[in-house]
Amino acid sequence: MSLFDDHFASKNAASARAWAMDDDKNGSKKEKRHEPAAPKMGVCDKCHREALVRSYRTRQTDLGNGAASFGTVIKYFCEECAPKSRRERDADVPQLSNKQVKNLMRSAKKGLL
């Protein structure tokens, strides 16, 4: 991995974490109350296959006739297409420890990389 790749990856991770924090501030109360219902047979709204699906409430904003309307839409997703929970998403983000970041910065300053 080049210096650029490392830098890019850590920058991405940092902004992903910032996003997650914004999410918490804006809507964690609502999302905590909402657990996906038990799976049942149905057609997935994303891949259109018949499968065990769960219902998910998604917020939708429509702009029509110059007026914005906000609504909640129920979508059915199979296990594969289901939106990941925040905890799972966070697990996907590569995390650099503080020590790794410091080492990276020090190396970069010294021009070692």
**Residues contributing to the site for Zn ion (CB under 5 A):** 44, 46-47, 78, 81
Contact yes or no for 61/75 (Cβ under 8 A): no
Give the residue with the Cβ less far from Zn ion, 83 or 104. Answer: 83
Helix axes 3-33, 98-110, angle to 10 degrees: 150
| Structure tokens, 112 | 């070692």
Smallest distance from the beta carbon of 56 to Zn ion, in angstroms?
12
Give the residue with the Cβ less far from Zn ion, 56 or 101. Answer: 56
Smallest distance from the beta carbon of 72 to Zn ion, in angstroms?
20
Classified as helix, coil or strand, 32 is helix
Give the residue with the Cβ less far from Zn ion, 47 or 91. Answer: 47
